Structure 1
Amino acid sequence: MVRRSGFNETELPPLFTDAALLDPRTTLARPGLAEQALEGCVEAEAYRAPTAMHGVVAVADIHISQDAGSERIDQLLFGEAFDVLDRAGGRVWGRARRDGLVGWIDAAALSEGAPLPTHRIASVSADLPFNALVVADNDDVAAHLMPIGTFEADPVSVAERLLGVPHQPGARSSQATDCSGLVQQALYACGLAGPRFADQQAGLGEGVARDQARRGDLVVWPHATGDQAWTGHSALMLDAQRVIHATGHHGAVVIENLAEAEARYRADGFDAPVFRRIAA
């Protein structure tokens, strides 16, 4: 499960109320400051060009506010770019370029520039997390690396390699993940679009009927916001009867019968599942 980035549609900052197409979770703007590319699109007191930086630790948490104890909403993996727009108290505010999420991260986890990676980590047992991005000379290429532009064929097979990985809200790596983080990383490995949030993932591909669902299809249980912050729960169909997903109920990435998972999520107030077929 993934929480919204602190915004309720009835409580959006004024700059977003007339810009329905701008999702505050992925728009690098706040009252008083916005990225230069948004001048004329959102109202702000100042516009700046972001500074490109990149992650230099295995996994760095991205939080909803400057307070490092605030809600974790995403993570930055080693080598991923982070576009910085503001700095305060050893923290920086900006956007993770790979999945587009806006938030705060420790400045010490970043270094200047955004080097073009040559390879990604293709093993779940390497020192760096799966899907981390690296620059490797030919002499450095190891078995756990896959060249950028070379993709895997089956998101479900990728997800199966992450069985047993602990479930943690806001996480999205092979060290720990939430439901949409698991789906995102499986899609990334196959060269497919992988938005961060369950409600965004529910818009991927084309809708399919429940009785037509098959291996590789995405299933999302939406959750109305209201007083709740959850946007839904994402899973991948393992076959016509089972899903693979990261779930707080089991505390890890597990395989579960679809009917059992659905009964639990419906009992918890989630909507009926949406089934989406994502073409490779």
Structure 2
Amino acid sequence: MDRRLTPATDRVAHESLRGILDRPQFTEGSPVRLSAPLADLMTAPDGRRDRQVNFGADLTMIDSRDGWAFVQAALDGYCGWLPEAALSHHLPAVTHHVTAPATHVYRTPDFKRSEAFGLSIGARLSVTAIEGKFAELATGGFVPIQHIGDQMADDPIVVAETLLGTPYLWGGNSRAGIDCSGLAQAALTACGIRCPGDSDLQREAFPQVADIQRGDLLFWPGHVALAASADLMIHATAWKMAVIWESIPDAIARIDSAGDGPYLGAHRPG
């Protein structure tokens, strides 16, 4: 079974795995929500980062030990460990999400006062009231209304373009740092298209197509880009350590010459 998508530790597994895995304990898990601005999903307590989850992410807590929680993300089924202190059992209805590349949560509805913390695109919010140009959150604080929305975007490429220049970060899922599959997931999720967290899973999730159209995902071993047209793509790449535009023919040639190919084709999200 794929470790990344299997809600089980060495001692506890989700009830759905009863009869499939041998564990001392099974559980339905506890619904929780990320209350920290951003958290790494790790392979083990204080281990290596696999992916990240953003503020407001709904999670199921399967296991906990020594201040760490093992969770599964509702967004894409990804599993991992994160600090238990980053979780909340307070689950107000989610009404909005962050549509800007990044924003701030202020302690008061005044942009001249100090901010409490920052949020990234895709963060999920529970808005209780609008005060001037700020939305008040059930979790506390105020967010500029210009940076949030309650509708899905129409074009993943327009979303991805807002993240141009974002520094490359392996396993990253935010404006502070993002990798190739994180960029693809952020762009598609903003448009209401469910998308796995890693490039190999993304390639399996969507059908391959012969031609390249805007919005297609282009794949190489361990890498994914979003096609803006038949000749131009946007991607988060360690080559430039940033989100960039690149010619598709140039990228195919460059990646092949570096020994990181071959180009594996285009897949079309539904």
2:206 is the alignment partner of 1:219: no
2:241 is the alignment partner of 1:251: yes
**Within 5 A, what are the aligned runs for 1:168-183?**
168-183=169-184
2:215 is the alignment partner of 1:238: no
Q: Which amino acid aligns with 1:137?
A: T
Q: Could you tell me how far 1:41 is from its partner in structure 2?
A: 2.8
Q: Could you tell me how far 1:249 is from its partner in structure 2?
A: 0.8
Within 2, Cα distance between the matches of 1:94 and 1:137?
27
In structure 2, the residue matched to 1:137 is 128
Q: Flag as ranges the 4+ runs of structure 1 deviating above 3 A.
A: none
Within 1, Cα distance between the matches of 2:254 and 2:91?
43
Q: Could you tell me how far 1:32 is from its partner in structure 2?
A: 3.2
Within 2, Cα distance between the matches of 1:132 and 1:42?
33
Identity %: 33
Within 2, Cα distance between the matches of 1:184 and 1:138?
30
Cα shift readout 1:31-52 (whole Å, capped 9, x = no counterpart): 4321122212322221122111
Which residue among 64, 67, 86 is the counterpart of 1:90?
67
Within 2, Cα distance between the matches of 1:264 and 1:114?
47
Structure 1 residues 115 and 27, CA, compared in 2 at 3 Å: closer, same or farther?
Answer: farther
| Alpha-carbon contact 1:52-1:113 (below 8 Å) kept | no
Of residues 265-274 and 196-205 in structure 1, the stretch that sits farther from structure 2 once superposed is: 265-274
Q: Which amino acid aligns with 1:214?
A: Q
| Alpha-carbon contact 1:63-1:73 (below 8 Å) kept | yes
Within 1, Cα distance between the matches of 2:102 and 2:14?
38
Q: Could you tell me how far 1:220 is from its partner in structure 2?
A: 1.0
The TM-score normalised by the length of structure 2 is 0.85
In structure 2, the residue matched to 1:77 is 54
| SS of residue paired to 2:178 | coil
C-alpha RMSD over aligned residues = 1.6
Give the gaps of 5 or more residues in structure 1: 1-15, 17-22, 223-231
In structure 1, the residue matched to 2:36 is 57
Which residue among 17, 27, 37 is the counterpart of 1:48?
27
Within 2, Cα distance between the matches of 1:98 and 1:204?
14
Q: Which amino acid aligns with 1:175?
A: A
Structure with a larger share of its residues in strand: 2
| SS of residue paired to 2:213 | coil
The TM-score normalised by the length of structure 1 is 0.82
Q: Could you tell me how far 1:270 is from its partner in structure 2?
A: 3.1
Aligned residues: 243
2:80 is the alignment partner of 1:111: no
Q: Could you tell me how far 1:179 is from its partner in structure 2?
A: 0.2
In structure 2, the residue matched to 1:199 is 200
